Amino acid sequence: MKAKKEALAYKRPNVINARSIGIAACTLTVLGAVIFLWHYTLSADLFKVDKYGVEGNIHLKDSDIFELMDVKGKSILSINAQILARRLESSPWIKTSYIRKELPSSILVKITEKAPAAVLNDGHAMYLIDDSGVKLDSIEKPLAGMPVINMEEQYKRAYAEAVRLVNVINKTSALSGKAIEITGMRPEDISLTLNGLLILMGFGDYEKKLSSYFSLKDEIANRNLAIEYIDLRFSNRLILKPLKKDMKWVKEAI
């Protein structure tokens, strides 16, 4: 009896091994079939992206957006919407994006574009920039009614201040449509030319300084004063430089 039990115990590993091999073989067969079907499905023409719709774009063409996504001929089943959104938002024009996949082969895209805030003229070329100073696109000439920053980007601190001033200007309805140019190599040198009139702005407090300008310009107009420039750089005083006799008086800015 003892010998029989020992014989059974001795043969059991072979039975277990055979069963394990059988299970493994079945598992591999099923897995192989799944992989085959998955690859077959991915390569099927039915699921290859061939249609797309775009909403919210003004400056970018539909074809530009489709090219950014790089999904033509790819299976919609293998496309990750979050990855597509990151690709789109790598464009300086695109602020946010939303992707929706529709089986069997369509992709719908909704984007929010950045709005140009000003023109940057760095002495070599001109660019549209957004409200954070990022270049959006190159242009041939300034756009009417849009502030122009005449400055090289190497003056980083001054450029950052110029962009802040632009944002204040764009929120000031009384300056809408005016011809405005901003210059300066240092933050304390920031100045703007408003319809030909030079206004020394200096660093910061742009809302307060522009408010001072508006309160002053009415008095200048009423008294028919001829001035060369207005100096708003100092918070506790406001300076008017009288116009020299041989200089042109720019009334349009007052």
Whether 72 and 108 map to the same domain: the answer is yes
pLDDT band at 111 (very low <50, low <70, confident <90, very high): very high
pLDDT band at 6 (very low <50, low <70, confident <90, very high): low
Residue 16 has pLDDT above 80, yes or no: no
Dig out the tokens for 189 from the structure.
């040198």
Whether 128 and 109 map to the same domain: the answer is no
Q: What is residue 30's predicted lDDT score, i.e. its pLDDT?
A: 56
Whether 72 and 184 map to the same domain: the answer is no
pLDDT band at 224 (very low <50, low <70, confident <90, very high): low
Q: What is residue 36's predicted lDDT score, i.e. its pLDDT?
A: 45
- Asked whether residue 28 is assigned to any structural domain, the reply reads no
Q: Average pLDDT, stretch 101-112?
A: 88
Q: What is residue 250's predicted lDDT score, i.e. its pLDDT?
A: 47
Q: Last residue of some domain: 70, 93, 113?
A: 113
Whether 217 and 242 map to the same domain: the answer is yes
- Cα torsion through 168, 173, 178, 182, rounded to 10: 0
Whether 127 and 105 map to the same domain: the answer is no
% of residues, the chain, pLDDT over 90: 34
137-170 confidence digits (pLDDT tens): 999 888 888 999 999 888 999 999 999 999 999 9
Length of the chain: 254
Query: Burial level of 166, CB count in 10 A (0-12/13-18/19+)?
Result: buried
Query: For residue 9, what are the contacts with CB-CB under 8 A and spacing of at least 6?
Result: none
- Asked whether residue 211 is assigned to any structural domain, the reply reads yes
Q: Average pLDDT, stretch 211-217?
A: 82
Higher pLDDT, 126 or 73: 126
Task: Pick left, alpha or beta for residue 196 (phi over 0 → left; psi -120 to 50 → alpha; otherwise beta).
Answer: left
- Tell me, what CATH number does 65's domain have? 3.10.20.310
Whether 234 and 126 map to the same domain: the answer is yes
Pick the range with the lowest mean pLDDT from 32-41, 67-76, 208-217: 32-41
- Asked whether residue 96 is assigned to any structural domain, the reply reads yes
- Asked whether residue 97 is assigned to any structural domain, the reply reads yes
Whether 187 and 227 map to the same domain: the answer is yes
Domain count, the chain: 2
Owning domain of residue 158: 118-253
Whether 109 and 136 map to the same domain: the answer is no
Whether 109 and 123 map to the same domain: the answer is no
**8 A C-beta contact, residue 181 and residue 148:** yes
% of residues, the chain, pLDDT over 70: 75
- Asked whether residue 109 is assigned to any structural domain, the reply reads yes
Whether 126 and 103 map to the same domain: the answer is no
- Is the bond preceding 116 in cis, omega lying within 30 degrees of 0? no
- Tell me, what CATH number does 147's domain have? 3.40.50
Q: Last residue of some domain: 89, 113, 137?
A: 113
Instruction: Report the distance separating Cα 239 and Cα 65, nearest Å.
Output: 51
Whether 93 and 153 map to the same domain: the answer is no
40-56 confidence digits (pLDDT tens): 454 557 778 788 889 99
Whether 228 and 200 map to the same domain: the answer is yes
Higher pLDDT, 4 or 185: 185
- Asked whether residue 15 is assigned to any structural domain, the reply reads no
Q: Last residue of some domain: 113, 129, 164?
A: 113
Q: Average pLDDT, stretch 3-11?
A: 51
- Asked whether residue 11 is assigned to any structural domain, the reply reads no
Q: Average pLDDT, stretch 67-81?
A: 85
Burial 38-64 (b: 16+ CB within 10 A, else e): eeeeeeeeebbbeebebebbeebeeee
Q: What is residue 38's predicted lDDT score, i.e. its pLDDT?
A: 47
- Asked whether residue 37 is assigned to any structural domain, the reply reads no
Task: Pick left, alpha or beta for residue 80 (phi over 0 → left; psi -120 to 50 → alpha; otherwise beta).
Answer: beta
Task: Report the chain's mean pLDDT, rounded to a whole number.
Answer: 80
pTM: 0.71
